[in-house]
Amino acid sequence: MKFFVDTADIAEIRDLAATGLLDGVTTNPSLVAKTGRRFTDLVAEICDVVPGPVSAEVAATDFDTMLKEAHLLTRIADNVAVKVPLTPDGLKVCRSLTADGRMVNVTLCFSAAQAILAAKAGATFVSPFVGRLDDIGTDGMELIADIVAIYRQYPAFGTEVLVASVRHPMHVVEAARLGAQVATVPPAVLRQLFRHPLTDSGLDRFLDDWRKTGQTILPGAGDGR
């Protein structure tokens, strides 16, 4: 399973990239707005830090303008994945870009029917928003199960399921259980994945006992605290 981080905060991206666990980045207009940065400069910087796919979303909604924006974005770096909305024009742009060998992330997917259309348009990734579906009282993970099952019937589709709008670690675990290829995870949730109270208390106990031995592993070092 691939982990993308869902943020446009370059400091967070650098920090998480250093873990070696990051396979890509997703941004959206709301995340970019929070940074106050110029979008194209930000995308260039993120693409330098993370070699995997970096999703950068178009801002227009009509085919011609979206395609022009997409071409400008793809010129920034080879690892830009153009993010387009799941609309008829968005899918036309998707088809045109993927025919040219570019990566496309079709976003704002809320139904299995939409995911089928994205795959037929040749999307590299489809982004179903699980958290926003949970927010309206439905089960976002049920949609992931449906899409994964449908795509398995048609190996020629080649579109990866990118679980988006992730709110907590169980969304990630369930996405993995279902066989989704990618989860894009906010930085705080990515960090939560590391944590378990028994890991913390277990480590404290080991360190206390180690200190009692009076030994050091490295010659001349302290006890590591």
Q: How far apart are CA 27 and CA 60, in angstroms?
A: 16
User: For ligand G3P, which stretch binds (CB under 6 A), given 16-24, 89-97, 124-132, 197-205?
Assistant: 124-132
Residue 6 within binding range of ligand G3P, rule CB under 6 A = yes
Residue 183 within binding range of ligand G3P, rule CB under 6 A = no
Applying CB under 6 A, among 65, 87, 116, 131 the residue interacting with ligand G3P is 131
Quick one: 23 or 210, whose CB is closer to ligand G3P?
23
Q: How far apart are CA 161 and CA 70, in angstroms?
A: 21
Do 128 and 147 touch, CB atoms closer than 8 A?
yes
In angstroms, give the least distance from the CB of 220 to ligand G3P.
Answer: 49
Quick one: 26 or 96, whose CB is closer to ligand G3P?
26
Indicate which residue of 34, 83, 120, 212 is catalytic. 83
C-alpha gyration radius of the chain: 20
User: For ligand G3P, which stretch binds (CB under 6 A), given 86-94, 109-117, 129-137, 215-223?
Assistant: 129-137
H-state helical runs in the chain: 10-17, 29-35, 39-49, 63-74, 88-99, 112-120, 130-135, 140-153, 169-178, 187-194, 197-213
CA distances for 222 relative to 21, 198, 203, 208, angstroms: 30, 25, 17, 13
End-to-end, the C-alpha distance of the chain in Å comes to 35
Applying CB under 6 A, among 98, 124, 159, 165 the residue interacting with ligand G3P is 165
Q: How far apart are CA 47 and CA 100, in angstroms?
A: 20
Residue 132 within binding range of ligand G3P, rule CB under 6 A = yes
Total of chain residues touching ligand G3P, rule CB under 6 A: 9
Q: Does the annotation count 120 as an active-site position?
A: no
Residue 114 within binding range of ligand G3P, rule CB under 6 A = no
Applying CB under 6 A, among 26, 74, 105, 114 the residue interacting with ligand G3P is 26
Residue 184 within binding range of ligand G3P, rule CB under 6 A = yes
Residue 105 within binding range of ligand G3P, rule CB under 6 A = no
Strands 54-57 and 80-85: parallel
Q: Which residues pair with 160 in a beta bridge?
A: 125
Quick one: 139 or 202, whose CB is closer to ligand G3P?
139
Q: Which residues pair with 82 in a beta bridge?
A: 56, 104
Residues of this chain that bind ligand G3P (CB under 6 A)? 6, 26, 28, 129, 131-132, 164-165, 184
Q: Which residues are catalytic?
A: 83
